[in-house]
Structure 1
């Protein structure tokens, strides 16, 4: 995991993100990878695709998919866990999730610029 985090942070900084935005993106990727490992079959395939001014990370797992009743919302303060997808959506504006019985594919993208700071707090 440490190697994945370092590579994502380096790619985000090279793409021109401010250090705090690179850190937020790295945290979001970290959450997705941890979810894939914990809930998606014990392993994750992570693809990092940097380009000038943008970084895209795709995380694939081979688990049973995300149940239909799981939505990215903030659980109550007394609930253990369940904050991963919610946190990802707070830290990264461009997130797509495709899930099926064959597993889940989560794609996160970030673009350098003045408007990359997430504003949403649902």
Structure 2
């Protein structure tokens, strides 16, 4: 395992965000597949994580991490920027039409089953959740 990747206390994957987003996407994809998500849900989660990590690099310009864990319900990923630059206003913004830039957070909220934001210790923590089974397949809303 790459030495930049560590196992967190309750997270199965913990990776610093660096400029090699391809490496991050591969690690998150492998983790999600091993956690039992189907290929389509893995692709959506990887897309969302890549967008969120790219935002940390472009907008926060500060250290960040991606952590992932799985349980019987699905996969939860935390994307953290140490500067705490992401706000609910950013998350709730509706992008202009026609889109040119600024679609990442909007798209993340459409491909993940749940997206939340909090600010522990002044950091921004974006939580992305992907259910193991899509809601329309298990009778849950």
Please give the range of the TM-score, normalised by the shorter of the 2 chains.
Answer: 0.7 to 0.9
Matched, 1:92 2:92: no
Segments of structure 2 that go 5 or more residues without pairing to the other structure are 1-20
**Greater share of helix residues, 1 or 2?**
2
Which structure ranks higher in relative contact order (CA pairs < 8 Å, sequence separation ≥ 6)? Answer: 1
Distance 1:7 1:53 in 2: 20
Distance 1:102 1:87 in 2: 25
1:107 is aligned to 127
**Which runs of structure 2 are paired with 1:19-98 in the superposition (5 Å)?**
19-52=39-72, 54-67=74-87, 69-70=89-90, 71-77=92-98, 79-98=99-118
Return the TM-score normalized by structure 2.
0.69
How far did residue 53 of structure 1 move? 5.1
Return the TM-score normalized by structure 1.
0.78
How far did residue 73 of structure 1 move? 2.0
- The one of 28, 35, 40 aligned to 1:8: 28
